[in-house]
């Protein structure tokens, strides 16, 4: 069971797009995946995945519906835990909220991945997710301000995680992705800490197909499965699953979802 937090310094760099497509690819590879839409600024996974959830996690918190009732099945292996935009969710007692949540998530049974799509920047909630997760993926676009913000995010995350993944989105080429990664890695080693393990998880090219898919409420990995960006997201999924195994053994694995939420609760 892996808990993957997807985050970024700057907004609009493709966190939600990549979270949705990555989750879908993992489900196609046979992994059981839950995607939690945890961006309280803009919870938009329902739009990206083209579904209309009846309830969100907020309704669960309010005790109005059960956790199972709020979950939306995307396919046999892929479930969405819809989020809610707005500060209202923050009014809930965090401990109670998360305890409720983890009991609910246990109902999935054996999950392979819980992917958490967070909001941009460094807030308390994002910090808790990073701390509790087995894997943290920082997404950045190639523009200078996004790279600056990615650097701040790396600096901040390095205080709580010594291994971080980087995904370059909206790049022109693999070459550009590699160059930006190398630069960030060098600066991180020099100015943050020598021991930081910044790993290149992959890249997705800038493609009008992706933008159009979002507008049409299509999923690039599903509806344009043989397109270049879909294949690139497939590569990210493969790399993520490869990093799981060392001599055939799953590394960094935690027994179940309850452990994740216990870890999360300990932060609060």
Ligand X SMILES: Nc1ncnc2c1ncn2[C@@H]1O[C@H](COP(=O)(O)OP(=O)(O)O)[C@@H](O)[C@H]1O
Interaction site with Mg ion (CB under 5 A): 15-16, 39
Coil, strand or helix at 60? helix
Residue whose Cβ sits closest to Mg ion: 16
Q: Could you tell me if 268 and 132 are in contact, meaning their C-beta atoms sit under 8 angstroms apart?
A: no
Question: Residue 42 or residue 192: which is nearer to Mg ion going by CB?
Answer: 42
The nearest distance, CB 12 to ligand X, in angstroms, is 4
Whose Cβ is closer to ligand X: residue 80's or residue 265's? 80
Q: Report the residue number, 8 or 27, with the smaller CB distance to ligand X.
A: 8
Neighbouring CB atoms inside 10 A of 209's CB total 16
Give whichever of 201 and 210 is closer to ligand X, judged by the CB atom.
210
Of 5 and 16, CB closest to Mg ion: 16
Identify the sign of the CA torsion 28, 33, 34, 35.
negative
Task: Decide which of ligand X, Mg ion, none touches 13; Cβ closer than 5 to 8 Å per partner kind.
Answer: ligand X
Compute the least distance from the CB of residue 188 to ligand X, in Å: 21
Alpha carbons 35 and 21: distance in angstroms, whole number: 10
Q: How far is the CB of 20 from ligand X (least distance, A)?
A: 8
Q: Which two tokens stand for residue 103?
A: 């009991």
Q: Choose among Mg ion, ligand X, none what residue 140 binds, the Cβ cut-off being 5 to 8 Å by kind.
A: none
Residues 6+ apart with CB under 8 A from 256: 1, 106, 111
Nearest distance from residue 9's CB to Mg ion, in Å? Answer: 13
The contact set with ligand X (CB under 6 A) reads 8, 11-17, 169-170, 204, 206-207, 210-211, 214, 229
Least CB distance to ligand X at residue 169 (A): 5
- Specify whether the CB–CB gap between 4 and 117 falls below 8 A: no
The C-alpha angle 21, 144, 14, rounded to 5 degrees, equals 15
268 contacts 128 by C-beta, under 8 angstroms: yes
State the nearest-atom distance from the C-beta of 85 to ligand X, in Å: 12
| Shortest Å, Cβ 14 to Mg ion | 8
- Taking the least distance from each CB to ligand X, the nearer of 77 and 140 is 140
Residue 140 dihedral angles phi and psi, to the nearest 5°:
-140, 155
CB 241 within 8 A of CB 29: yes
Taking the least distance from each CB to ligand X, the nearer of 23 and 100 is 23
Residue among 238, 208, 214 at smallest CA distance from 31 = 238
* From the list Mg ion, ligand X, none, partner contacted by residue 104 (C-beta under 5 to 8 A by kind): none
Q: What proportions of the chain, in percent to the nearest 5, are helix, strand and coil? A: 45, 20, 35
């Amino acid at each position: 069971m892996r808990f993957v937090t997807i985050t970024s310094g700057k907004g609009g760099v493709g966190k939600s797009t990549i979270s949705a497509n990555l989750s879908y690819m993992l489900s196609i590879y046979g992994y059981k995946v839950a995607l939690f839409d945890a961006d309280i600024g803009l919870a938009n996974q329902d739009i990206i995945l083209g579904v209309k959830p009846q309830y969100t996690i907020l309704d669960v918190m309010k005790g109005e519906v059960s956790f199972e009732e709020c979950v939306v099945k995307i396919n046999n292996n892929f479930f969405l835990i819809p989020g809610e935009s707005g500060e209202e969710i923050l009014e809930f007692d965090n401990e109670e909220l998360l305890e409720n949540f983890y009991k609910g998530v246990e109902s999935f049974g054996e999950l392979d991945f819980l992917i958490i799509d967070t909001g941009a920047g460094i807030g308390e909630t994002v910090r808790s997710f990073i701390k509790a997760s087995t894997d943290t993926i920082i997404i950045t676009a190639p523009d200078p301000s996004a790279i600056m913000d990615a650097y701040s995010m790396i600096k901040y995350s390095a205080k709580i995680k010594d291994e971080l993944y980087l995904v370059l989105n909206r790049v022109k080429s693999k070459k550009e992705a590699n160059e930006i990664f190398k630069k960030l890695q060098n600066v991180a080693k020099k100015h943050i800490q020598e021991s930081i393990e910044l790993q290149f998880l992959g890249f997705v090219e800038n493609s009008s197909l992706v933008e159009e898919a979002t507008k049409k409420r299509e999923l690039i990995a599903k509806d344009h499965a043989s397109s270049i960006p879909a294949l690139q997201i497939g590569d990210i999924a493969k790399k993520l699953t490869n990093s799981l195994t060392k001599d055939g053994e799953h590394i960094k694995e935690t027994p179940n979802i309850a452990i994740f939420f216990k870890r999360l609760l300990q932060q609060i």
